[in-house]
Amino acid sequence: MLIVIDNFLTSLELEQYCARLELADWQDGTHSAGGLAAQVKANRQLADNDPVALDLANRLLQKLGQHPVFVSAAIPHKIHQPRFNRYSRGEAYGVHVDAPIMSLPHSNDVLRSDVSATLFLAEPNEYEGGELLIEGQFGAQEVKLAAGDIVVYPSSSLHQVLPVTAGTRQVAILWAQSMIADAQDRSLLFDLDQSIQSLTNSGQVDTAELMRLTAVYHNLVRRWAVV
Ligand code: NI
C-alpha cells in the first residue's frame, strides 16, 4: 500500500531545509549502493556523517516519530537516518529493490527495511522527469509530489526514479523496521486505525463500541508486533 502524507513539512521548515541543503557538500551517490543497485544508480547525496545531513536528519526523525499518520502507517521499531539525495539532468535510479538489511549509521545495530519513504524537497515544477515509479499489486504508480509531502511504501516493492531531464529533484529518503513485518498486516492495521480515528472525530458513535474497536486494534498489534 502506498500512503501519501500531504504537508508533512510546513513551508517554513521546507525553506529552512532547502537553505541548508543548498550549501551542503554533495557527493557521488553510487558509493552507498551495493551490487546491482550500484550499476543503476546515478545521483548525489550527503554523507551520513555530514553535519548538515545529521542535523536535518535528526529533526526529521523527531517529526516522524510524532506524526500520527506516519506512525500509524509504519508502526516503526527503528528508523534509519534519513538520507538527502539530489538528481539533476541525466541522473536517475533504475529499477531496484532496497536492501533488506541495512547497517545503522553511527551504531553497530542493523535494521530490516520494511517501510520506505520519500520526502519531496523540490516542487514538481522545479524539475522535469524524476518521477518515483513504484510497482505494486495493481501495477506501477508514478509519484511526484509537492515539496513537503511524503510517500510511504513497502520496502519490498520494486521501484525506480525516472531520469531527470531538467532542473534538480531533491528528496530525503528513509527506511523503517516495523514492529509489524508483514505489509498486508500493516495495511489492515492502518485501515482499522484510520477508521477508528475518523469515527472518534465524528462524535457520532457510542463510546463503548468505539472502545471495543480500539481494543481489537490494540490486541491485533499485541498479537502481531515483534519488538
Ligand atoms: Ni530505493
Domains, the chain: 3-178 (2.60.120.620), 183-224 (4.10.860.20)
Q: Which residues contact 64 (CB under 8 A, 6 or more apart)?
A: 70, 71, 76, 79, 174
What is the DSSP track for 127-185? Answer: EEE--EEEEETTEEEEE-PPTT-EEEEETTS-EEEPPEEEE-EEEEEEEEEESS--HHH
pLDDT the model gives residue 125: 98
pLDDT the model gives residue 35: 74
What are the grid coordinates assigned to 140, written together?
506501477
Q: How many angstroms separate the alpha carbon of residue 140 from the centre of ligand 1?
A: 15
Q: How many angstroms separate the alpha carbon of residue 67 from the centre of ligand 1?
A: 23
Closest to 72 (Cα-Cα) out of 224, 197, 210 = 197
Q: How many angstroms separate the alpha carbon of residue 89 from the centre of ligand 1?
A: 19
- Given a cut of 90, is residue 60 above it in pLDDT? yes
Task: Name beta bridge partners: 90.
Answer: none
State pLDDT tens for residues 99-110.
Answer: 999 999 989 999
Q: For Cα atoms 194, 151, 41, give the angle at the middle one, nearest 5 degrees.
A: 155
SS3 annotation, 191-227: HHHHHHHHHHHHCCCCHHHHHHHHHHHHHHHHHHCCC
- Given a cut of 80, is residue 198 above it in pLDDT? yes
- Given a cut of 90, is residue 50 above it in pLDDT? yes
Task: Give me the mean pLDDT over the 119-147 stretch.
Answer: 97
pLDDT the model gives residue 95: 95
Q: How many angstroms separate the alpha carbon of residue 10 from the centre of ligand 1?
A: 25
Q: How many angstroms separate the alpha carbon of residue 23 from the centre of ligand 1?
A: 25
Task: Give me the mean pLDDT over the 89-117 stretch.
Answer: 95
What are the grid coordinates assigned to 173, written together?
529518503
pLDDT the model gives residue 168: 97
Task: Give me the mean pLDDT over the 121-143 stretch.
Answer: 96
Lowest-pLDDT choice from 65-69, 120-124, 132-136, 137-141: 137-141
- Given a cut of 80, is residue 179 above it in pLDDT? yes
State pLDDT tens for residues 10-44.
Answer: 999 999 999 999 999 999 988 777 777 778 889 99
Average pLDDT of the chain is: 95
pLDDT the model gives residue 32: 76
Q: Summarize the chain as % helix, strand, coil (round to 5).
A: 40, 30, 30
Q: How many angstroms separate the alpha carbon of residue 143 from the centre of ligand 1?
A: 13
Q: How many angstroms separate the alpha carbon of residue 155 from the centre of ligand 1?
A: 8
Q: How many angstroms separate the alpha carbon of residue 116 from the centre of ligand 1?
A: 8
Q: Using an 8 Å Cβ cutoff, are 105 and 57 in contact?
A: no
What are the grid coordinates assigned to 69, written together?
499518520
Residue owning grid cell 498489534: 221
Q: How many angstroms separate the alpha carbon of residue 68 from the centre of ligand 1?
A: 24
What are the grid coordinates assigned to 114, written together?
520494511
